[in-house]
Amino acid sequence: MSRIPQNKIIFFITSVFDNPNSGPATFARILHKYFTRDGLNFKIITSDCDKPDKNIIVISKTRIKSLVYYNLWKAAKKEIKKYPDNDIIIHFNNSFPYLFFGKIGDKCIIQVNDYYTASSGLYQFKLFRPRPFIRHTLRKFTESISIKKADLIVFNSYFTRNFLISTYNIPLLRCEVVYKSVDFEKLNFDHLPEKINDILFIGNNYYIKGLDILIEAIALFEMPIILHIVGPAQLDDQLNKKIEQLPKNIQIILVGALEQENLYSLMRQVKLLVIPARVEALGVSVIEALGMGLPAITSGSGGLKEVLEGYPDICSDENNLNSKHLFNQIMLIFNNYTQYQALFNKERNKIRIKFNAETMVKKLYALYHQ
């Protein structure tokens, strides 16, 4: 890995850093860890860090959440003026709305973390209420402006890249795919299920991640099932009503947000991860499960096919968006669990190589060096 010249400074702009349940925040923490280790001139500007070091610049939070993007952009613009003789790379940890405010630095890279913003918005729960509709429209507008102004766009899956190229008519030469990684140093234990028929669901936006589909599926079971729901602190009335109508053999544990170490501990104990997502750019939670050897069932939406390449079709079947089909798939794994667990244990090393932090960092080094 060739050294990046000392006169080149990378400013990484991210609205999230400490947040334990955010994929972009996990990405930011991994970059900070590895680039600090390597002595790179890599500085982070964020509003979400309680214990910053010399390489992290923290701005104040804002009462209006969306205003933080402008304040981060303004802070970056101010900070780079301190280095008039340096080659400045600005890497935004979002594709919106930063470059709407204008280009700064010598080279602007934007990170596209999902394809939801570029979509028609049909997946947004209650989208047709005025406020969500306006918010989504503004996000898509500012993203389209940022995409046009960026020197380089980094996508976290080929599906997301192809979707945005089609939506915004982006030249392929300005696009790169860098898979988000998992810090497998923290994921240093095996999947050893201690519980019987426990299912794990992970996702902050439970509608997009398909929690309603999963609840309809487990309602069909006659044997005892425990579903652990990690992510949302509370559910809406419609979903709570479905849960109330579940038979007595089904137990729901609403776990809420979990720190990474606690999440990994829970993953170690359950029997199966099920995320029948309607939309998924990559699926970091699925990568974490596979890296541990935990069997997983998804819908195969978006980048999930790339993550589950080489695994049985059952793991990434788009028909899993149908609750009756999903029930049959879960039952199939439970009935042949020893076979599936052995397969997932065998494949986990491939996942640890493909989505390794060193692999991701090496590719970013090359992009920064250009």
- Give 81-122 pLDDT, tens digit per residue: 999 999 999 999 999 999 999 999 999 999 999 998 898 765
Backbone angles phi, psi at 8, to 5 degrees: -100, 125
| Angstrom distance (rounded) from CA 280 to CA 283 | 6
What average pLDDT does the segment 150-170 reach? 96
**Residue 109 has what pLDDT?**
97
Side-chain-side CA neighbours of 26 within 13 Å: the count stands at: 21
Q: Which residues pair with 176 in a beta bridge?
A: 154
The pLDDT-based confidence of 2 (bands split at 50, 70, 90) is low
Strands ordered across the beta sheet of 175-177 = 56-58, 42-46, 8-13, 87-92, 107-112, 152-155, 175-177
Decide the pairing of beta strands 272-275 and 198-202.
parallel
Lowest average pLDDT, out of 49-58, 108-117, 133-142, 295-304, goes to 133-142
| Angstrom distance (rounded) from CA 8 to CA 88 | 6
CB 142 within 8 A of CB 97: yes
Residue with tokens 């790339």: 306
Closest CA to 212 of 311, 323, 85: 323
| Angstrom distance (rounded) from CA 307 to CA 286 | 8
What average pLDDT does the segment 286-308 reach? 95
Higher pLDDT: 45 or 123? It is: 45
**Which tokens in the block code for residue 270?**
């359950």
Lowest average pLDDT, out of 42-46, 160-164, 244-248, 256-260, goes to 256-260
Decide the pairing of beta strands 198-202 and 225-230.
parallel
Q: What is the pLDDT of residues 303-355, one digit of tens each?
A: 999 999 999 999 999 999 999 999 999 999 999 999 999 999 999 999 999 99
**Which tokens in the block code for residue 79?**
């900070």
Outline where 6-111 has alpha helix (H): 23-37, 67-80
CB 264 within 8 A of CB 285: no
**Residue 23 has what pLDDT?**
81
Average pLDDT, the chain: 90
Residue with tokens 């019987």: 196
Beta carbons within 8 Å of 178's beta carbon, 6+ residues apart: 154, 155, 156, 360, 363, 364, 367
The pLDDT-based confidence of 196 (bands split at 50, 70, 90) is confident
| Angstrom distance (rounded) from CA 72 to CA 81 | 15
CB 220 within 8 A of CB 212: no
CB neighbourhood size of 319 (10 A): 15
| Angstrom distance (rounded) from CA 82 to CA 266 | 46
**Residue 363 has what pLDDT?**
92
Lowest average pLDDT, out of 28-42, 83-97, 184-198, 249-263, goes to 184-198
Q: Does the pLDDT at position 252 exceed 80? A: yes
| Angstrom distance (rounded) from CA 108 to CA 150 | 5
Q: Tell me the CA end-to-end span of the chain in Å, nearest whole number.
A: 13
The pLDDT-based confidence of 63 (bands split at 50, 70, 90) is confident
**Residue 261 has what pLDDT?**
85
**Residue 119 has what pLDDT?**
85
Angle at which helices 211-218 and 323-335 cross, to 10°: 60
Q: Does the pLDDT at position 125 exceed 60? A: no
